[in-house]
Amino acid sequence: MAITAADVNKLRTVTGAGMMDCKKALEETNGDFEAAIDNLRKKGQKVASKRADREANEGVVIAKTTSDNKKGIIIKLTSETDFVSKNADFIKFAESIAETAIAETPATLEDLKGKSINGKLISDLIDEQVGKIGEKIDVTEYTVMEAEDVVAYNHAGNRIGVLVALNQPHSDATSGAGKDAAMQIAAMNPVALDSSEVDPDTIERELQIARDLIRAEGKPENMIEKIAQGKLNKFYKDSTLLNQDFVKDPSKTVKKMIQDANPDLQILKFKRVALGE
């Protein structure tokens, strides 16, 4: 019997399966709707459902920029095992998603999954991968960033991706400093750009930890807040990007490294995406 687009769409609505998978299931069952659902459950959709609560801490992270360096993206395509994540076809699939993301720069992860690659929705292609490979696979993170100059950095075999937004137009000097900052971010995982951007809950947690430690050391109560503030300042030094010692030259901070490249250069924001986080 002829399979109509309405039939395919109805099956897709009920099951959440991809359009092509639904069409094939209906064709294989001669249009029997219930049999087509059973057909899908025996394939990728059953695997996807069964593995919904499985940990997927392996995968590939890819950071890219547009040719004019005005926009950048990061995508994270996860899998359950490194056996899958190191497979050439899996990496190629991740690259195709990243290429689509940088070409179209959709606003959200949901929008990205709604984009097409060679006529198929990314969400449907993910379902196909689940059915074929038998692991939980998904695009779990997507970031898009815009600035005068965006620097992308991929670290440790595509396990970490970083974007850095700069306030000055692209040049060898500014982008070089931006890349050094991105490498710093990948290695040191700062919690914020500087102390003014640290989350208030994080500040209070650090202060409370410091207070408890100081009390345990038997310090006088009237000294606790002053000492705790000193420990908080040390936290800012160690954990905020601009205040960190520059790993390539610990005699200067990251802020000084940026200023040495261009006195007007500023890091506006950054994003670090890593597997297992």
One-character DSSP codes across 222-275: GGHHHHHHHHHHHHHHHHBGGGSEETTEEEEEHHHHHHHH-TT--EEEEEEEET
pTM of the model: 0.78
Task: Give the domain-ending residue among 124, 146, 168.
Answer: 146
Within this chain, do residues 124 and 71 fall inside the same structural domain, yes or no?
yes
Q: State residue 123's pLDDT score.
A: 94
Q: State residue 39's pLDDT score.
A: 78
Task: Give the domain-ending residue among 146, 172, 188.
Answer: 146
Q: State residue 1's pLDDT score.
A: 66
Which CATH number is 11's domain given?
A: 1.10.8.10
Q: State residue 149's pLDDT score.
A: 97
CB 61 within 8 A of CB 154: yes
Q: State residue 42's pLDDT score.
A: 66
Q: State residue 78's pLDDT score.
A: 95
Q: State residue 51's pLDDT score.
A: 47
Q: State residue 49's pLDDT score.
A: 47
Q: State residue 50's pLDDT score.
A: 45
Enclosing domain of residue 65: 53-146
Q: State residue 218's pLDDT score.
A: 92
Number of domains in the chain: 2
Whether 110 maps to a domain, the answer reads: yes
Positions of the chain with pLDDT lower than 70, given as ranges: 1, 13, 16, 41-55
